[in-house]
Amino acid sequence: MRAGNADRERVVAQLNSAFAEGRLDVGELDERVAAAYRAKTLGELRPLTADLPEGRSPAPRQAAQPAPATPAQEIEHAAPRAAVVGALGLFLVNVLIWAAVSIGTGQWIYFWPVWTAIPLVFALAGLAGTRRRRG
């Protein structure tokens, strides 16, 4: 049977574990890892781990793993947090400007940065909504 990338990676992970345990030296690890990446079949992978504990051969995948998130899903999850960070940054910059002007004039002026807090409130509400939907 043909070996897939996941099969090769599983063997390389087992070889790295054996190296970390002191069962292989650097030269053996290099040779076996190179052979694992050259392997085209499961039969070529089996001898690479046959003399190591923890399974004598790479078994085909038993259970389906969850699919990795697509770039669109990652953006969908990151967008609400990015909106909060951006709105918070805008608000804080405006508060600093207001404070500098107030200190420079020697009197407290109208707190106009409150208007820049409106996008922050909407961003926080959006973040809470996405967490509730995922929850």
Instruction: Decide: 39 and 32 in contact? Cβ < 8 Å.
Output: no
Q: What is the mean pLDDT of residues 101-110?
A: 93
Domain ranges of the chain: 5-49, 71-134
Residue 127: its pLDDT value, please? 81
Q: Distances in Å between the alpha carbon of 15 and those of 29, 40, 46, 59, 126?
A: 7, 18, 12, 15, 46
pLDDT one-digit tens code per residue, 110-123: 999 999 999 889 88
Query: Which residue type occupies 17?
Result: S
pLDDT one-digit tens code per residue, 8-31: 999 999 998 888 888 888 888 899
pLDDT one-digit tens code per residue, 49-84: 999 886 544 455 555 566 666 666 666 667 777 888
Tell which wins on pLDDT, 77 or 1: 1
